Structure 1
Amino acid sequence: MTRDELIRPVPALLKEHAEPAPERVAYADSAHGVTCAGLERRTRALAGHLTRTGLARGDRVAIIRGNRVEAAESCLAVLRAGMVGVPLDPRSSDAEPAHFLKDSRAAFVITDAAHPVRLRRPGSPYDGLGALVAGPGPVPDGARSFHSAVESDEPAEIDTLGLDDPARMPYTSGTTHRPKGVLSTQRAALWSVAACYATIFGLSSGDRLLWPLPQFHGLSHSPAILGVTAVGASARIAGDPTAPGGLRQEPVTAHEGLGGPFTAPAGVPATYHRLVGSEGAAPPALRMCLVAGAPSGPALRTAMEEALGAPLFDAYGSTETCGIIAAVRPEGPRADGSCGPPVPGVEVRVVEPRSGADVRDAAEGEVWVRSPGLSPRTRRERAERAVRIPPSSRIVRDP
């Protein structure tokens, strides 16, 4: 059973949680926080500002911002403006953003003070790219202030994006070729929230997430941006997840105004290896921890439970499926090396790549997936069969 009531337009979800709990903190980072009411108001204002810049419905807006509240606000505001958000890694080299901006046909960028100058180095058309700049420091010539945009109150036509209209275009990791942009819709992206995070892991308004993963990544967007928005939870956006000490450098008590102790983080295995292997005070006991990107292994799971008293649950997903494909259930059996059964509504086959025939039990193969979370392009191009996840993403069938 999935939480189908969570698959609704994001503006409606924002307004729903802003009305009964306006002062509850939705997001906080090391600099500041934003309440549920503030999140609805600021994303509405930012969406209106974007429409007044001359951008049109469906235009691509690149978001190049580190782990900050403004990154979450930007994702939600671009959607409310009826445009397509293109989240990019703020730590990438100059050449990489230039490629992604050209490939995505981005018409605008939301970033920090350093990036407008870097983005103009390749020359036309990037030297004329419109930009909103967030964070401290002066706003470069030709750019506009993010702070001013989110505080504006001019009326604008927003919140017209349908559940099945393109809303976001993240890029794959490029393990088999150059990274590719994957269009997703509100419906596809919210599917993982409704079928996995809320249904399997119990994500609710009572959760206070401690979130160390880069926000441009899909594993952050689904639970920490759309998930928090859909269920009315709160999230403490952690700093650089690669810094020594990892989560141990984050506050061990709730952030000002967050209203309770942290209940759950998510990370890749390296996140938790750094956590259990570093010095300093540990975060408080957590309800659960989610790990993806690679199998966790029994030693890491044991170490996490000893250090924090929190179970570590493996999950497996991809950019093309807009979220989680399979996950270990808190109440179910666990097998070493397994990412668990498919989430509700997802069909998975493990096949021999050349023939397309199912492999025998315990044999390695290519993963084929059919899911409501598939990107619209993938769903249209492969209407008669499941999407093929790249061959480098292999799993072993549980006997």
Structure 2
Amino acid sequence: MDTGSEFPPTLPTLFSRTLRGRSDRTALISSRETLSYEALDRRSNALANALVDAGIEPGDRVATALSNRLETPVVDIAIYKAGGARLPINPSLSTREITHMLTDSAADAIFCEPPLVPDINEVTTDNSLRCVADAAGPPDGWHTLADLEQRGESGMAPAVTVDPDSIGGHFYTGGTTGEPKGVLYSQSCLSANLIAHLAQLGFSESDTGLVSTPLSHSGGTFLQSGLLAGGTVCVQRGFDVEQLVEVVTNHDVTWTFLVPTMLYRLLDAGVTGDDVPSLERILYGAAPMQSDRLREAIDRFGPIFVQFYGQTEVPNLITTLDRRDHARAVENGDDRLLRSAGRPCPFVDIRIVDPTTGKEQPAGKRGEITVSSPYSFDRYHGRPDETEQVLRDGWVHTGDIGKLDADGYLYLLDRLHNVIVTGGLNVYSSDVETVLGDHPAVADVAVIGVPHEEWGEAVHALVVTHDGESIDESALLEFADDRLAGYKKPKSLEFVDELPTTPLGKLDKQSIRDRYWDDRDRRIG
């Protein structure tokens, strides 16, 4: 990967230099078409020129509400080459959420799927560059991708000068704790993060990846990293077990990224390593994975798993639990290690601090996880007070509760806002979820605090059982009797068919809490 003497390089430099000279090697594959590196470079150059010709300047926000299609990475790379700030939006979000992101960011340009055009017309102006994918005849004031590519065709990327400290990315948090916040990253931050992915995950030009999670989030970063390594990446429009097995088999896929719910569906469908023999790495993260199901996955596929922990403010790579860790855990029967999030990535420092005093905590003691990294976010968009609260003296205060063991492995215990205060005592919902989740009949569980007149909050559990399994409330509470202190035991249980999740597959505890707290002035006990 040639990046010249500048390090970390700006995004235009990083992508222009690394994509150049790979001629007819295959870069991207979908169910409909294949794109070579030469075509990817040429088409992204053309779109970048069209953006610059339309008045896009370094740092201008360019939103992409695009699905998993080959055009999406072409557009993303074009934005980088033009010096713009990429603003990815999951097109499956609600109209309200998409409207909020576009108006909050004051996006200068938007690329979107055809069904979103009417809503986006309501919140963008004629001064915005608007482009729709897959439209034979674009609406008034809109362009098609083909039209923009034709306008910008020149063979070379635009000659833009970009400050490494200028904004290269404008992402939004998942909104599971309230209104999504705009998170701004510098050019050097995003570049360092992509290079860290290459170093930590070991992608190479001989690899073929498969991405079926939204390209607007972690999936897009893994895809871009695979391209920077010189490999091939298959793009799946959405997750489907049969299609995944077919793509892996047909294209000798060596790595893929899955959220835990996707892994569970693979396991429930009976897929084994024999069905996907080329797979060398299964990356997983974005949500907790039950340790018994992880053991089952390792039994089926072997110790080929890599867990990562990150958040929007420190993308993807705060810690990793690599393949060697998974293998060692299986060899030693160490379930404790499988429940960890791994060790800090290179160039990442972690401190566990008391959330009240800020004092650093010793190994084994709980506290808030704080992170220092060259790819930490720059600031929140338009929220200086929240920036000051989260980013202090170069350390990101994650809002996650955790602990480090003596060997430096990180254990994620809860979110600060998920701590239940009942009768003046703190209950970490993850402690209760772990115990209830160990019952063989329980497939999934979420624990929250609900209003209680005497204690402020009471522990409440929502439980999903495995298909064909049943258990009554008294039996499950009895199971927890000698495993939880009395004040930690659920005071009520609710059996449900499924737990609500965000579009990224993360448990949406905010929506669960809203059912119980919406009519309350205070959202904590």
Q: Which moved more, 1:63-72 or 1:129-138?
A: 129-138
Q: How far did residue 9 of structure 1 move?
A: 3.5
Percent identical residues: 25
Match of 1:248 among 245, 248, 264: 245
**Aligned partners of 2:359, 2:74: CA distance in 1, in Å?**
45
Could you tell me the TM-score, scaled by structure 2's length?
0.67
Could you tell me the TM-score, scaled by structure 1's length?
0.86
* Structure 1 gap ranges (5+): 255-260
Partner of 1:143: 142
Q: How far did residue 104 of structure 1 move?
A: 0.7
Is the contact between residue 301 and residue 312 of structure 1 (CA under 8 Å) also seen in structure 2? no
Q: Does 1:313 align with 2:324?
A: no
Partner of 1:257: none
| 3-state SS, counterpart of residue 58 of structure 1 | coil
> More strand by proportion, 1 or 2?
2
Q: Which moved more, 1:343-352 or 1:152-161?
A: 152-161
| 3-state SS, counterpart of residue 194 of structure 1 | helix
Q: Does 1:228 align with 2:226?
A: yes
Partner of 2:103: 102
Match of 2:319 among 301, 322, 326: 326
Runs of 4+ residues deviating >6 angstroms: 3-6
Partner of 2:75: 74
Partner of 1:209: 209
| 3-state SS, counterpart of residue 338 of structure 2 | coil
Amino acid of the residue matched to residue 146 of structure 1?
A: L
Is the contact between residue 131 and residue 144 of structure 2 (CA under 8 Å) also seen in structure 1? yes
CA 1:231/1:107 → structure 2, altered by over 3 Å: closer, same or farther? same
Q: Which has the higher contact order (CA 8 A, sep 6+)?
A: 1
CA 1:22/1:7 → structure 2, altered by over 3 Å: closer, same or farther? farther
Q: Which moved more, 1:95-104 or 1:149-158?
A: 149-158
Q: How far did residue 126 of structure 1 move?
A: 4.9
Partner of 2:262: 271
**Aligned partners of 1:371, 1:103: CA distance in 2, in Å?**
27
Amino acid of the residue matched to residue 185 of structure 2?
A: S
Partner of 1:351: 353
CA 1:14/1:23 → structure 2, altered by over 3 Å: closer, same or farther? farther
Amino acid of the residue matched to residue 56 of structure 1?
A: E
Match of 1:364 among 363, 366, 382: 366
Q: How far did residue 248 of structure 1 move?
A: 3.5
CA 1:287/1:244 → structure 2, altered by over 3 Å: closer, same or farther? closer
Q: Does 1:111 align with 2:112?
A: yes
CA 1:305/1:253 → structure 2, altered by over 3 Å: closer, same or farther? farther
| 3-state SS, counterpart of residue 92 of structure 1 | coil
Q: How far did residue 249 of structure 1 move?
A: 5.8
Matches within 5 A, 1:254-265: 254=251, 261-265=252-256
Q: Which moved more, 1:376-385 or 1:126-135?
A: 376-385
| 3-state SS, counterpart of residue 168 of structure 2 | strand
Q: How many positions carry a matched residue from both structures? A: 383
**Aligned partners of 2:17, 2:80: CA distance in 1, in Å?**
17
Amino acid of the residue matched to residue 49 of structure 1?
A: A
| 3-state SS, counterpart of residue 274 of structure 1 | helix
**Aligned partners of 1:42, 1:174: CA distance in 2, in Å?**
34
**Aligned partners of 2:4, 2:365: CA distance in 1, in Å?**
35
Is the contact between residue 11 and residue 190 of structure 2 (CA under 8 Å) also seen in structure 1? no
Q: How far did residue 156 of structure 1 move?
A: 7.8
Q: How far did residue 309 of structure 1 move?
A: 3.6
**Aligned partners of 1:59, 1:7: CA distance in 2, in Å?**
21
Note the alpha carbon deviations across 1:127-170, whole angstroms, 9 max, x for none: 76431111255422221010222244158844432433211111
Is the contact between residue 281 and residue 304 of structure 2 (CA under 8 Å) also seen in structure 1? yes
CA 1:366/1:264 → structure 2, altered by over 3 Å: closer, same or farther? same
Note the alpha carbon deviations across 1:216-271, whole angstroms, 9 max, x for none: 11x2233212x123221221011213x565733645211xxxxxx11111121112
Q: How far did residue 39 of structure 1 move?
A: 1.2
**Aligned partners of 1:385, 1:56: CA distance in 2, in Å?**
28
Partner of 1:85: 86
Is the contact between residue 291 and residue 313 of structure 1 (CA under 8 Å) also seen in structure 2? yes
CA 1:137/1:36 → structure 2, altered by over 3 Å: closer, same or farther? same
**Aligned partners of 1:54, 1:21: CA distance in 2, in Å?**
30
CA 1:246/1:69 → structure 2, altered by over 3 Å: closer, same or farther? same
* Rg (Cα) greater in structure: 2
Q: How far did residue 200 of structure 1 move?
A: 2.9
| 3-state SS, counterpart of residue 184 of structure 1 | strand
Q: How far did residue 342 of structure 1 move?
A: 0.6
Is the contact between residue 296 and residue 314 of structure 1 (CA under 8 Å) also seen in structure 2? no
| 3-state SS, counterpart of residue 58 of structure 2 | coil
Q: Does 1:65 align with 2:66?
A: yes
Partner of 2:288: 295
Partner of 1:258: none
CA 1:245/1:397 → structure 2, altered by over 3 Å: closer, same or farther? farther
Q: Does 1:45 align with 2:46?
A: yes
Amino acid of the residue matched to residue 220 of structure 2?
A: H
| 3-state SS, counterpart of residue 253 of structure 1 | helix
CA 1:12/1:4 → structure 2, altered by over 3 Å: closer, same or farther? closer
Alpha-carbon RMSD: 2.8
Is the contact between residue 19 and residue 228 of structure 2 (CA under 8 Å) also seen in structure 1? no
| 3-state SS, counterpart of residue 101 of structure 2 | helix
Q: How far did residue 307 of structure 1 move?
A: 3.2
Is the contact between residue 15 and residue 81 of structure 2 (CA under 8 Å) also seen in structure 1? no
Is the contact between residue 295 and residue 339 of structure 1 (CA under 8 Å) also seen in structure 2? no
Amino acid of the residue matched to residue 358 of structure 1?
A: E
**Aligned partners of 2:293, 2:134: CA distance in 1, in Å?**
37
